[in-house]
Chain A
């Protein structure tokens, strides 16, 4: 009965979303304050009922109600409680409901906490978000209903895929969705601006905090996914250029470009139509990702089991939302012209290159991802595009961008005077090159060219990122959250590049058969397999090995990898164990028992230096993005004005 209430709540949410859209648009168009208020209330109602629907689904999981088909498919009675909760988004139907919930959350946040924009503008934003909500809600109700009953009810469920029974999985999808879905906010702002026919710097200033937050969530979500795949799958890779991974990476790249483009629009009123286009592009990549992952056109370990019928619906949603927005753009964007200029060497110029190179990178990933699909659609022999392609092509725009970044972050607006930073940067460059050769030689014994280049760039970037905060603190100036956030984010980039370079250059793997008591050498480490014993888990049985790790004769760790068999699905799973220091990871994973007694095991030993910096760097990037949100100019602006003119005046005073 309760489950049906959940279904009903979803239907109510749909109706309220329709009201939200209609009254939002009509109210703004006719300037009727009452209607705009109705739209706002409808949004709150939609939010409440969406939360209710999601809550009921969670309830069904916690109670292990196997009369619900979705629960029977993705859960089991022996599943630990926390995973019963995360199983809610373990497959297609539930994850779409999460999508809808996150969209509702974002809508409410934006509706009530956006500063400075007039009521009519916000109404339009709410309306656009309502349209997207309608689309997703209809999709769920029509093709992917999580509340569908299973008659007769199953005795027990199929259990959650053991790969997903992991702490990392608890956070990865929600974080990712907050970022992914959050790109709908710039999208809504862009469409609203196009509808209104007006785009000023206040618009950019209002949008920047939201974009930063969405971008930060996306960064964290992707990072969590990478980290989780690394320690869960156990073979030491943290990015596979899988089409589904690329689908989350592309919105991130465009989001990064958007953050920087918004800066120019806010400060100088430039790049207006470009910023609008980026806003639409970012969300379209989000929707494209949803399409690719769930329509069945892709083959990937990440893709949800789905059918083309769902694909048709998402494609239509994609076509209507993005097609509509782009047509609006084609019609109206030309009126947002500004005729101010800037010098060849200026902050605007650097940010222009930033955007250009990020978009090139996005297009490279897009082409690599879509090319096999196109080839297959043309009935030509299939090809695969994987790591070798991306490793060659992706650095093409990225390396120049990193170099420009180190200089550009110091450039001033209109006409940059870099004379003050020229000397520090040059000295920094020389030091960076020295570090780039020293670290490989002294720390790891060999110095391939690309490794030295990577480390030098990372060092120079880090140095450059710290110049500004250092100078300000030294002179006793205040360090605004904007500058601090920027510096931290760029420092994060440097750490990320450092981690990637070293982890890739000095990685070591060893597959070997070990019997109890024998030792294997992995670089400068000795790993001794002590013994193996059987253990019982909540929903699995496992063979657990004990492996002692020594460096230079001294024991530095004892590892306990497991080979688990989950009782319900009966698949075997390897749980590696790690020695995870800040500067290296050493891990052991069990393969198969060999030989007659079964006490000899094939094992994979892995050494990954500095791999932690990959994720730490990314998280620090996200941190920088969040810190920047706290800048006072985003908070000083007066409360919602009803007329755009007053809003402009207020903005002028506020900054």
Chain B
């Protein structure tokens, strides 16, 4: 009879435990509460065929890269964080481990060409996604975002936010080396 009065206390303490756990996760390194997990992980990469920023008369077709692993980096000249991650992309490109394909979304062509000329071009090819439809198909909601596509054409990993060497080493490289199954992504580390 008396024990039912203890129920509120027990439920409350359990709830506090859950809240504590939630806080722990929120405060954990690299966690960002507003990053969405992509439902495309483990699925085939959406295909696209778009003109190239470097030479608009040429086209880049995603099927040309089938059978090899590659990175897809979504960027734009109006995106402040893309500026910050650009040197990192150049460094990764120099390592020559996987090719990086750029997806320039909702941008001005002249601005994009000037950007690549001035800052350097880490991409083997940059697709010009004028109206953002391709980026939408990839589930991009805020540039910059970087995808890792495996040799089998499946999306292995997605990073939202500016890429850093740390994320490259901790999240991308292991997956490239394993060619492993997709794991849940993390948001931008600080």
Contacts and interface: CB of A to CB of B under 8 A. Distances in A.
Task: Tell me if chains A and B make direct contact, with any CB pair below 8 A.
Answer: yes
B55 interface: no
Given A297-B26, A312-B23, A319-B16, A382 B36 contact: yes
Give the secondary structure class of A's interface.
helix
A1 to B, nearest CB: 36
A203 B164 CA distance: 62
B13 A296 contact: no
Contacts of B136: none
A374 B161 CA distance: 25
Interface stretch (B3-11, B114-122, B166-174): B3-11
Contacts of A330: 5-6, 8-9
A374 B18 contact: yes
B16 A309 contact: no
A163 B19 CA distance: 31
A357 B184 CA distance: 41
Contacts of B5: 273, 329-331, 333-334
B29 to A, nearest CB: 11
Interface in A370-388: 373-374, 376-377, 379, 381-382
Interface residues of A, number: 35
A315 B16 CA distance: 7
Interface in B1-45: 1-2, 5-6, 8-9, 12-13, 16, 18-23, 25-27, 33-34, 36-37, 39
Contact of B23 (A277, A311, A323, A327): A311
Interface string A313-331: 0010011001100110111
Interface in A259-312: 273, 277, 280-281, 284, 291, 295-299, 307-309, 311-312
Given A315-B20, A329-B8, A381-B37, A334 B26 contact: no
Given A374-B18, A377-B18, A377-B25, A284 B12 contact: yes
A607 to B, nearest CB: 33
B9 A296 contact: no
A299 B33 CA distance: 7
Interface in A563-584: none
Given A319-B16, A326-B9, A330-B5, A299 B34 contact: yes
Given A326-B12, A377-B18, A309 B2 contact: no
A277 B26 contact: no
A286 to B, nearest CB: 14
B19 A291 contact: yes
A379 B33 contact: no
A319 to B, nearest CB: 5
B99 to A, nearest CB: 30
Nearest to A298: B33
Contact of A309 (B22, B27, B34): B27
A334 B16 contact: no
A308 B6 contact: no
Contacts of A376: 22, 25, 33
A296 B26 CA distance: 7
Contacts of B1: 334
Contacts of B8: 277, 280-281, 326, 329-330
A374 B25 CA distance: 12
Contact of B16 (A281, A296, A323, A333): A323
B33 to A, nearest CB: 6
A309 B5 CA distance: 33
Interface centre among A281, A308, A322, A382 (most CB of B within 10 A): A308
B21 A377 contact: yes
Given A291-B19, A330-B8, A374-B18, A308 B36 contact: no
A296 B184 contact: no
Give the secondary structure class of B's interface.
helix
Contacts of B184: 379
A580 to B, nearest CB: 36
A553 to B, nearest CB: 44
Contacts of B19: 291, 297, 315, 318
Interface in A63-100: none
B21 A327 contact: no
Interface string A327-370: 10111011000000000000000000000000000000000000
A322 B13 CA distance: 9
Contact of B13 (A280, A281, A299, A323): A323
Nearest to A309: B27
Contact of B33 (A297, A315, A331): A297
A291 B1 CA distance: 34
Given A315-B19, A334-B1, A329 B9 contact: yes
Contact of A323 (B2, B9, B26): B9
Nearest to A308: B27
A327 B26 contact: no
A322 B9 CA distance: 9
A318 B9 CA distance: 12
A297 B21 CA distance: 10
B37 A308 contact: no
A281 B12 CA distance: 10
A287 to B, nearest CB: 11
B6 to A, nearest CB: 4
Contact of A311 (B16, B26, B36): B26
A334 B2 CA distance: 6
Interface centre among B1, B8, B13, B184 (most CB of A within 10 A): B8
Given A315-B16, A381-B37, A297 B9 contact: no
A326 B5 CA distance: 9
B12 to A, nearest CB: 5
B23 A295 contact: yes
A238 B33 CA distance: 26
A381 B39 contact: yes
A323 B6 CA distance: 11
Contacts of A299: 33-34
A308 B13 CA distance: 19
Contacts of A281: 8
Contacts of B2: 334
Interface centre among B13, B23, B184 (most CB of A within 10 A): B23
A377 B16 contact: no
A334 B1 CA distance: 9
Nearest to B34: A299
A412 to B, nearest CB: 30
Contacts of B25: 376-377
Nearest to A310: B23
A506 B14 CA distance: 45
Contacts of A379: 184
B18 A318 contact: no
B68 to A, nearest CB: 29
Contacts of A298: 33
A206 to B, nearest CB: 24
Interface centre among A326, A329, A334 (most CB of B within 10 A): A326
A235 B163 CA distance: 37
A117 to B, nearest CB: 24
Given A329-B5, A330-B9, A334-B1, A318 B16 contact: yes
Given A329-B8, A330-B6, A333-B5, 5 more contacts: A307-B27, A308-B23, A319-B16, A330-B9, A331-B5
23 contacts: A277-B8, A280-B8, A281-B8, A291-B19, A295-B26, A297-B22, A298-B33, A308-B23, A308-B26, A308-B27, A311-B23, A315-B16, A315-B19, A318-B16, A318-B19, A326-B8, A329-B5, A330-B8, A333-B5, A376-B33, A377-B22, A377-B25, A382-B37
Closest 9 CB pairs of A and B: A308-B27, A326-B9, A330-B6, A333-B5, A330-B9, A377-B22, A334-B2, A319-B16, A311-B23
